[in-house]
Copies of this chain bind each other. A is one copy, B any other.
């Protein structure tokens, strides 16, 4: 390993000087700078971030805690964060919490142990001590809190939009699939939908589910048709279960969208690939991740500043699991 000392020796200056050119601060003579630069080149030196981090009490790492990147919504958030962070010279330490508080705490500890300069988290537990006692710039992603800045999409509005769409397009007996109760955004969108459905002139029923896992999605879909065979409009808890519902509906010979309309949530990349392509409520996942990183980095710069949250708009993406026009 080549160290700053080697560079100093090679350039016949002190380590202090090398450090100064490295960090571009303090006075350095033009001559000297050049000498150092070439030494760096020749030795192919790159500074040890760990040593740097130790002294500065802060690395160039940011901690990112997500429920599960195996769920296609999250990789997009992650890429948004990573790309924006990278643009500012930061890298990400990734953790999957599986919505498990133990794992979450473990990761948080890891993050602080590694001197991350800030952290982005999609947690339902900001109120825990772990977070309270955290002395780090923090931004929530895909979650909200009054105590921290957050970047999230308007779930309530998304739920409303989904319901309104289905109603406008003539669904009469809608089934609302309720996501896991402990996942905040899931309940937001559920409430939004109920809000609209409750006021509207349609029958509706609710089916509760407890996970977003791929393996179970088909079971939920099956259960749904068993319980509500007469439904003609389904609001899925997310695109995964939306796609599973298409699958099951087709299997049962239902005509989509004539007989049965389906609307998903998230707009994960594969939703346009389903057949028929899934109508859905889009959350701008990549952009959300990007903004979260942006916000965090801002706060790293000026930690005192009063915090600001960003609510991203949701958007109806009309594809072919809903009808073209209002028709009964």
Binding site for B on A (CB under 8 A): 1, 46-51, 53-54, 57, 59, 61, 68-70, 72, 75-76, 78-79, 82, 86, 91-96, 106-107, 109-110, 112-115, 214-215, 217-218, 240, 243-244, 246-247, 250-251, 269-270, 272-275, 277
Residues on the B chain within 8 Å of A113, using CB: 46-50
What separation, in Å, do the CA atoms of A107 and B107 have in the docked complex? 22
With contact pairs A61-B114, A69-B78 given, residues A273 and B240 touching in the complex (Cβ less than 8 Å): yes
Q: Is the CB of B69 within 8 A of A91?
A: no
Name the B residues within 8 Å of A106 (CB-CB).
Answer: 86
Listed residue (A53, A95, A112) with the most chain B CB atoms within 10 angstroms of its CB: A53
Given the known inter-chain contacts A94-B92, A273-B218, please indicate yes or no for A59 contacting B50, CB distance below 8 A: yes
The answer to whether A1 touches B251 (Cβ under 8 A) is: no
> Closest CB-CB distance, A236 to chain B, in whole Å?
12
Query: Which of A76, A79, A106 has most chain B Cβ within 10 Å?
Result: A79
Cβ of A73 to closest chain B Cβ, rounded Å = 11
Q: Are A91 and B70 in contact (CB under 8 A)?
A: no
CB of A27, distance to nearest CB on chain B (Å): 27
Contact B93 A79 (CB under 8 A): no
Specify which chain B residues have a CB less than 8 angstroms from the CB of A61 in the assembled complex: 93, 114
Residues of B within 8 A of A94 (CB): 78, 82, 92-94
Contact B270 A270 (CB under 8 A): yes
Nearest Cβ on chain B to A179's Cβ, whole angstroms: 17
Name the B residues within 8 Å of A51 (CB-CB): 54
Q: A117 to chain B: closest CB distance in Å?
A: 12
| 7 A-B pairs closest in CB distance | A214-B269, A49-B113, A247-B275, A69-B75, A250-B275, A94-B94, A50-B115
Instruction: Say yes or no: A69-B79 contact (C-beta < 8 A), given A113-B48, A270-B214.
Output: yes
Contacts of A79 in B (CB 8 A): 68-70, 96
Known contacts A59-B50, A82-B94; A217 and B109 CB within 8 A of each other: no
